[in-house]
Structure 1
Amino acid sequence: MTGHKRTDRVGDQIRMEIADILMRRVKDPRVGFVTVTAVDMTADLRQAWVYVTVLQQGPQEAETLAVLARAEGFIRSELGRRLKLRYVPALTFVKDTSLDRVKRVMTLLDQVQPQPTEPKDNHREP
């Protein structure tokens, strides 16, 4: 059980550091506006899946993910300088679809939810 807590702590630290690296060190204009939403790690801390949301949609989104994949070596070397880990994990950048799922559920709830009606006037004047 303690291993999961460590992976969560290390994942949170990696999430914050990658967000800072993307904001301050990655100069490629194709990266655009990227938010690092979560990091999942293997128990041995050697592999990390970095979940990101990209402001641009469509082809720009795919291009941003491709640029992040190509910048993986640079980002890992920056992480190695910043973190005191025996091994810097291999990074895999993944589109975070949780916001898309939330929007879809909210749309479905709006469709199912009854529309508010005018309250009936129960008070009759004599």
Structure 2
Amino acid sequence: MPREFTRSDRVADAIQRSLAHAIQMEVRDPRLGMVNINSVSVSRDLTWAKVYVTFVGVDSSEEAEASVAILNKAASYLRNVVSKDLTIRSTPKLQFFYDKSTVVGQKLSHLIDKAVAKDREGKEQNEE
């Protein structure tokens, strides 16, 4: 019976959980607000982990990129914290990226809601 998830998927999930806790409790940079870890993808040889993040309350992409730079500077420290938390032989090197998909998704959802409301107004006016 084949496994449902590969080892890299299981390691990625464990890293995501560990990083969420580590960033919240260990990183004390006041410039860094609330961080959401959207996903983690680990290379097949478990040497690199790409961490995709978004930030709560950050409106501009410049602020988000500055926060990503803070996380990338703290990557070696976070890797050390994750390595103590996980029981794997070698911990992947962490690389943080800003994930714009949630922002784009919210904008599209807002546009769809706006269009649906406009259509309802048009139907109500035509019925009268």
SS of residue paired to 2:83:
helix
In the TM superposition, what is the alpha-carbon distance from 1:112 to its structure 2 partner? Answer: 5.7
Query: Counterpart of 1:5?
Result: 6
Superposed CA RMSD in Å reads 2.3
Which segments of 5 or more consecutive residues in structure 2 lack a partner in the other structure? none
Letter of the aligned partner of 1:57 in structure 2? Answer: D
Instruction: Using structure 2 for the length normalisation, give the TM-score.
Output: 0.81
Identical pairs, percent:
29
In the TM superposition, what is the alpha-carbon distance from 1:111 to its structure 2 partner? Answer: 6.3
Matching of residues 37-48 of structure 1 within 5 Å: 37-48=38-49
1:57 aligns with 2:59: yes
Higher helix share: 2
Instruction: Using structure 1 for the length normalisation, give the TM-score.
Output: 0.82
Count the aligned residue pairs: 121
What CA distance in whole angstroms lies between the structure 1 residues aligned with 2:31 and 2:115? 40
Structure exhibiting the larger radius of gyration computed from Cα positions? 1
Which segments of 5 or more consecutive residues in structure 1 lack a partner in the other structure? 122-126
Structure 1 runs (4+) greater than 6 angstroms displaced: none
Cα offsets for 1:39-83 (capped at 9, x unmatched): 011111111100100122334322211110000010000011111
Specify which of 99, 104, 119 is matched with residue 115 of structure 1: 119
